[in-house]
Amino acid sequence: MTISLNHPLIKKSQSLIALFLLCLLFSLLSDKFMTSANLWNVLRQISVNVCISVGMTLVVLMAGIDLSVGSVLGFTAAVCAGLLKNGLSFESMDLFVGFSVLGAILVSILIGLALGLFNGWVITKFSIPPFVATLAMLTIARGLTMLYTEGIPISNLGTEFEFIGSGWILGIPAPVWISIFMVLIVLFLTKKTTFGRYIYAIGGNERAAFLSGININKIKLTVYGIAGMMAAVGGVLVTSRLNSAQPNAGTSYELDSIAAVVIGGTSLSGGIGTVAGTVIGAIIIGVLNNGLVLLDVSPFWQQVVKGFVILLAVIIDKMNQKNK
């Protein structure tokens, strides 16, 4: 009995098969890869990209794109660190407001929400292509980060905050628990809510979705807001792990998140894809990064390899669309 490569089961399992083969390859090439310490390190590192990527999944499912998530991550991370380190001063009123860890995190997530909503508003209000609108926000948020930090890292944020990115809970790194929670939220939205069905409908055929009475602009606005919040959560994880907010934090995360979404089987044309597939895609990116580092591959060649992997994933997606 033979199974065709076009068999539905093979198509659905492409990313999982790719992950297995990648792990097998790196385990053969490096005896350090399959150690428990390294595998936990991989999971800790990918937790940031998982949070960003599940938000990106919702955007791509609508046939949209968000190039600003890396810059939003950087800005919200800087604000979170700044509030923890310096609080907020109102000199005209001789008032100083200090922030707890929870307070600073909530403010940064709200800022991420606001920036995401702004993306959605520009896209829906002025009919600007998502690529252009979010590219503008990429530049705006990066500039705001430099203005806020003055190009200087904000460090020494306290052990309580550091625990979020570096601590362990029940034998599992805290960032992994946070990323699992974010995944479950988005899974619930896509699988169990009308909102999730509307996202797929818009991505599948926006005109038909509009004629069926779906409020297209409202859904798009909400989805970009969620993407902004997920980027802010990623910013909290990055900053707490380093116990420092770097002015250039988040650079290239937008590419890694798009790569995770595409490699995980979500179509850039919209309407097709799953959150579970994106998680596998993020793990593939993480394993690829980790394995290349263990093999002492130049960072420049790592970028080349990742680029080809993304290109291959898009080609496979196009071939699958043609074969339907």
Provide the percentage of residues in the chain whose pLDDT is more than 70: 92
Answer yes or no: is 304 within a domain: yes
Answer yes or no: is 91 within a domain: yes
The domain containing residue 157 runs over which residues?
Answer: 45-323
Tens digit of each residue's pLDDT (9 = 90 or more) over 232-281: 999 999 999 999 999 999 888 998 999 999 999 898 889 999 999 999 99
pLDDT confidence band for 87 (50 / 70 / 90): confident
Tens digit of each residue's pLDDT (9 = 90 or more) over 25-80: 999 999 999 999 999 999 999 999 999 999 999 999 999 999 999 999 999 999 99
DSSP codes, 105-137? HHHHHHHHHHHHHHHHHHHHHH---HHHHHHHH
pLDDT over 90 at 308, yes or no:
no
Answer yes or no: is 305 within a domain: yes
Strand partners, 172: 169
Answer yes or no: is 282 within a domain: yes
Answer yes or no: is 87 within a domain: yes
Which of 78, 57, 48, 68 minimizes the C-alpha distance to 118?
68
pLDDT confidence band for 92 (50 / 70 / 90): low
Q: How many domains, the chain?
A: 1
pLDDT at 1: 43
Mean pLDDT of the chain: 90
- Element containing residue 166 per DSSP (H, E): helix 159-166
pLDDT over 90 at 310, yes or no:
no
Residue with tokens 């009475």: 213
Residue with tokens 């890292």: 153
For 52-89, b/e burial (b = at least 16 CB within 10 A) is bbbbbbbbbbbbbbbbbbbbbbbbbbbbbbbbbbeeee
Answer yes or no: is 1 within a domain: no
The tokens for 129 are 């292509």
The tokens for 287 are 């394993």
Strand partners, 89: 96
pLDDT at 95: 65
Tens digit of each residue's pLDDT (9 = 90 or more) over 139-149: 999 999 999 99
Answer yes or no: is 188 within a domain: yes
Distance, CA of 189 to CA of 272 (rounded, Å): 15
Answer yes or no: is 56 within a domain: yes
Q: Residue 148 phi/psi, 5° resolution? A: -70, -40
